[in-house]
Protein backbone atom coordinates (compact mmCIF):
# COMPACT_ATOMS: atom_id res chain seq x y z
CA UNK A 1 0.00 0.00 0.00
CA UNK A 2 1.36 3.41 -0.96
CA UNK A 3 1.79 5.95 1.82
CA UNK A 4 -0.66 8.83 1.68
CA UNK A 5 0.43 12.42 2.09
CA UNK A 6 -0.66 14.59 4.99
CA UNK A 7 -0.89 18.27 5.80
CA UNK A 8 1.01 17.98 9.08
CA UNK A 9 4.22 16.78 10.68
CA UNK A 10 4.63 15.15 14.07
CA UNK A 11 6.54 16.85 16.86
CA UNK A 12 8.90 14.75 18.96
CA UNK A 13 10.36 15.25 22.43
CA UNK A 14 13.93 14.93 21.11
CA UNK A 15 15.64 15.47 17.72
CA UNK A 16 15.14 11.79 16.92
CA UNK A 17 12.31 10.13 14.96
CA UNK A 18 12.24 7.24 17.46
CA UNK A 19 11.67 9.56 20.44
CA UNK A 20 8.16 9.90 21.89
CA UNK A 21 5.78 12.48 20.52
CA UNK A 22 5.24 15.63 22.61
CA UNK A 23 2.70 15.59 25.43
CA UNK A 24 -0.59 17.48 25.36
CA UNK A 25 -1.88 17.77 28.92
CA UNK A 26 -5.29 18.85 27.62
CA UNK A 27 -5.77 15.69 25.59
CA UNK A 28 -3.78 13.39 27.87
CA UNK A 29 -4.32 14.57 31.47
CA UNK A 30 -2.61 11.40 32.72
CA UNK A 31 0.70 12.77 31.38
CA UNK A 32 1.07 10.21 28.61
CA UNK A 33 2.63 11.09 25.28
CA UNK A 34 0.60 11.97 22.20
CA UNK A 35 -0.05 9.18 19.72
CA UNK A 36 -0.44 8.76 15.97
CA UNK A 37 -4.14 7.88 16.31
CA UNK A 38 -6.24 9.87 13.85
CA UNK A 39 -8.19 11.51 16.70
CA UNK A 40 -5.06 12.57 18.60
CA UNK A 41 -3.87 15.95 17.33
CA UNK A 42 -1.66 16.61 20.35
CA UNK A 43 1.64 16.44 18.46
CA UNK A 44 0.63 17.70 15.02
CA UNK A 45 2.02 20.81 13.40
CA UNK A 46 -0.29 21.51 10.45
CA UNK A 47 0.53 23.19 7.16
CA UNK A 48 0.09 26.94 7.48
CA UNK A 49 0.55 27.08 11.23
CA UNK A 50 2.93 29.72 12.52
CA UNK A 51 5.46 28.73 15.17
CA UNK A 52 8.51 30.25 16.79
CA UNK A 53 11.76 28.34 16.31
CA UNK A 54 13.70 27.69 19.49
CA UNK A 55 16.86 26.06 18.11
CA UNK A 56 18.34 23.73 15.50
CA UNK A 57 20.23 20.48 15.93
CA UNK A 58 21.50 19.13 12.61
CA UNK A 59 18.47 18.48 10.39
CA UNK A 60 16.07 18.91 13.31
CA UNK A 61 14.37 22.12 14.43
CA UNK A 62 12.68 22.74 17.76
CA UNK A 63 9.65 25.00 18.15
CA UNK A 64 7.65 26.19 21.12
CA UNK A 65 4.52 24.05 21.29
CA UNK A 66 1.95 23.77 24.11
CA UNK A 67 4.34 25.26 26.64
CA UNK A 68 7.18 22.87 25.77
CA UNK A 69 9.70 22.21 23.01
CA UNK A 70 8.69 20.04 20.07
CA UNK A 71 11.19 18.75 17.50
CA UNK A 72 10.55 18.20 13.79
CA UNK A 73 12.71 16.98 10.95
CA UNK A 74 13.37 19.93 8.64
CA UNK A 75 16.68 19.67 6.78
CA UNK A 76 18.03 22.88 5.25
CA UNK A 77 18.14 21.15 1.84
CA UNK A 78 14.39 20.32 1.94
CA UNK A 79 12.79 22.36 4.74
CA UNK A 80 9.40 21.66 6.24
CA UNK A 81 9.34 25.03 8.00
CA UNK A 82 9.41 28.18 5.92
CA UNK A 83 10.42 31.57 7.32
CA UNK A 84 7.66 34.12 7.81
CA UNK A 85 7.21 37.53 9.33
CA UNK A 86 4.97 38.39 12.21
CA UNK A 87 4.79 39.47 15.80
CA UNK A 88 5.26 37.11 18.71
CA UNK A 89 4.15 37.17 22.34
CA UNK A 90 6.18 36.22 25.39
CA UNK A 91 5.63 36.36 29.14
CA UNK A 92 6.29 39.77 30.65
CA UNK A 93 9.74 40.12 32.22
CA UNK A 94 9.79 38.74 35.75
CA UNK A 95 6.89 36.32 35.21
CA UNK A 96 7.75 32.63 35.57
CA UNK A 97 4.75 31.77 33.36
CA UNK A 98 1.48 33.22 32.11
CA UNK A 99 -1.87 31.48 31.69
CA UNK A 100 -3.46 30.54 28.38
CA UNK A 101 -7.23 30.78 27.84
CA UNK A 102 -9.71 29.01 25.59
CA UNK A 103 -12.01 32.03 25.32
CA UNK A 104 -11.75 35.80 25.65
CA UNK A 105 -14.84 36.81 27.61
CA UNK A 106 -15.37 40.13 29.41
CA UNK A 107 -14.18 40.74 32.95
CA UNK A 108 -16.78 40.41 35.75
CA UNK A 109 -17.30 44.18 36.13
CA UNK A 110 -18.60 44.38 32.54
CA UNK A 111 -21.73 42.45 33.54
CA UNK A 112 -22.78 45.05 36.15
CA UNK A 113 -26.26 46.47 35.56
CA UNK A 114 -27.41 43.52 33.46
CA UNK A 115 -29.23 40.31 34.27
CA UNK A 116 -26.65 38.43 32.22
CA UNK A 117 -24.84 35.84 34.35
CA UNK A 118 -21.07 36.26 34.56
CA UNK A 119 -19.15 33.87 32.33
CA UNK A 120 -16.08 32.73 34.22
CA UNK A 121 -12.79 33.25 32.44
CA UNK A 122 -10.65 30.41 33.74
CA UNK A 123 -7.20 29.52 32.42
CA UNK A 124 -6.59 26.23 30.69
CA UNK A 125 -3.99 23.71 31.83
CA UNK A 126 -1.40 25.27 29.51
CA UNK A 127 1.04 28.11 30.25
CA UNK A 128 3.65 30.12 28.42
CA UNK A 129 6.84 29.85 30.44
CA UNK A 130 9.50 32.54 30.71
CA UNK A 131 11.80 32.43 27.68
CA UNK A 132 9.17 30.98 25.33
CA UNK A 133 7.48 32.83 22.45
CA UNK A 134 4.39 32.15 20.34
CA UNK A 135 3.14 33.65 17.09
CA UNK A 136 0.54 36.38 17.44
CA UNK A 137 -2.48 35.61 15.26
CA UNK A 138 -4.77 38.56 16.11
CA UNK A 139 -4.17 41.58 18.33
CA UNK A 140 -7.70 42.99 17.86
CA UNK A 141 -9.82 40.54 19.83
CA UNK A 142 -13.02 42.04 21.26
CA UNK A 143 -13.95 40.71 24.67
CA UNK A 144 -17.68 40.28 24.46
CA UNK A 145 -20.38 37.79 25.31
CA UNK A 146 -23.74 37.47 23.56
CA UNK A 147 -26.51 36.38 25.90
CA UNK A 148 -29.69 34.83 24.45
CA UNK A 149 -32.09 32.53 26.28
CA UNK A 150 -34.99 32.73 23.81
CA UNK A 151 -35.64 33.23 20.11
CA UNK A 152 -38.01 36.16 20.66
CA UNK A 153 -36.13 38.27 23.27
CA UNK A 154 -38.99 37.86 25.74
CA UNK A 155 -36.82 37.79 28.89
CA UNK A 156 -35.06 40.72 30.60
CA UNK A 157 -31.66 41.40 29.05
CA UNK A 158 -32.28 38.66 26.49
CA UNK A 159 -30.24 39.15 23.30
CA UNK A 160 -27.71 41.36 25.09
CA UNK A 161 -24.06 41.86 24.19
CA UNK A 162 -21.76 42.37 27.18
CA UNK A 163 -18.53 44.11 26.13
CA UNK A 164 -15.47 44.19 28.34
CA UNK A 165 -12.37 46.35 28.62
CA UNK A 166 -9.87 43.54 29.28
CA UNK A 167 -7.73 43.00 26.18
CA UNK A 168 -6.69 39.60 24.84
CA UNK A 169 -4.49 38.39 22.01
CA UNK A 170 -5.18 35.31 19.89
CA UNK A 171 -2.09 33.13 19.50
CA UNK A 172 -1.01 30.02 17.63
CA UNK A 173 -0.56 27.50 20.43
CA UNK A 174 -0.24 23.81 19.71
CA UNK A 175 -2.66 22.50 17.09
CA UNK A 176 -5.22 25.14 18.06
CA UNK A 177 -5.76 28.86 18.57
CA UNK A 178 -5.86 30.15 22.14
CA UNK A 179 -5.85 33.47 23.96
CA UNK A 180 -3.59 35.32 26.39
CA UNK A 181 -4.36 38.48 28.35
CA UNK A 182 -2.52 41.44 26.86
CA UNK A 183 -1.62 42.54 30.40
CA UNK A 184 0.33 39.29 30.91
CA UNK A 185 2.56 39.39 27.82
CA UNK A 186 4.83 41.56 25.70
CA UNK A 187 4.49 41.74 21.93
CA UNK A 188 7.69 41.55 19.92
CA UNK A 189 7.51 42.71 16.28
Q: Looking at the structure, tell me whether residues 64 and 94 fall in a common domain.
A: no
Q: Looking at the structure, tell me whether residues 93 and 177 fall in a common domain.
A: yes
Q: Looking at the structure, tell me whether residues 38 and 96 fall in a common domain.
A: no
Q: Is the pLDDT of residue 4 over 80?
A: no
User: pLDDT grade, residue 48 (50/70/90)?
Assistant: very high
Q: Looking at the structure, tell me whether residues 77 and 95 fall in a common domain.
A: no
Query: What are 145-188's pLDDT values in tens digits?
Result: 999 999 999 988 899 999 999 999 999 999 999 999 999 999 99
Q: Which domain holds residue 135?
A: 88-188
Q: Using CA atoms, how far apart are residues 150 and 185, in angstroms rounded to an integer?
A: 38
The CATH number for 60's domain is 2.30.30.40
Q: Looking at the structure, tell me whether residues 59 and 93 fall in a common domain.
A: no
Q: Looking at the structure, tell me whether residues 7 and 72 fall in a common domain.
A: yes
Q: Which of 62, 83, 104 marks a domain boundary?
A: 83
User: pLDDT grade, residue 2 (50/70/90)?
Assistant: low
Judge whether 81 and 65 are in contact, CB under 8 Å: no
Give pTM, 2 decimals. Answer: 0.91
Query: What are 58-117's pLDDT values in tens digits?
Result: 999 999 999 999 999 999 999 999 888 999 999 999 999 999 999 999 999 999 999 999
Q: Using CA atoms, how far apart are residues 54 and 129, in angstroms rounded to an integer?
A: 13
Q: Looking at the structure, tell me whether residues 117 and 76 fall in a common domain.
A: no
Judge whether 143 and 101 are in contact, CB under 8 Å: no
Judge whether 36 and 10 are in contact, CB under 8 Å: yes
Q: Looking at the structure, tell me whether residues 65 and 96 fall in a common domain.
A: no
Q: Which of 83, 104, 135 marks a domain boundary?
A: 83
Q: Which of 52, 83, 114 marks a domain boundary?
A: 83
Q: Looking at the structure, tell me whether residues 93 and 183 fall in a common domain.
A: yes
Q: Using CA atoms, how far apart are residues 97 and 127, in angstroms rounded to an integer?
A: 6
Q: Is the pLDDT of residue 3 over 80?
A: no
Q: Looking at the structure, tell me whether residues 113 and 41 fall in a common domain.
A: no
Q: Looking at the structure, tell me whether residues 108 and 150 fall in a common domain.
A: yes
Instruction: Name which of 152, 148, 132 is nearest 69 in CA terms.
Output: 132
Q: Looking at the structure, tell me whether residues 76 and 96 fall in a common domain.
A: no
Domain count, the chain: 2
Amino acid sequence: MRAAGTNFVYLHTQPDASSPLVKDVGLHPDGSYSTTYVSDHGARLAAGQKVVVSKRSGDWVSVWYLGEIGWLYSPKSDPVLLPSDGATVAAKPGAASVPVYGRAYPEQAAYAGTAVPYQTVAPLQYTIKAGQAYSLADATIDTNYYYAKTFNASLPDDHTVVTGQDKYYEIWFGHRMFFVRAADVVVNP
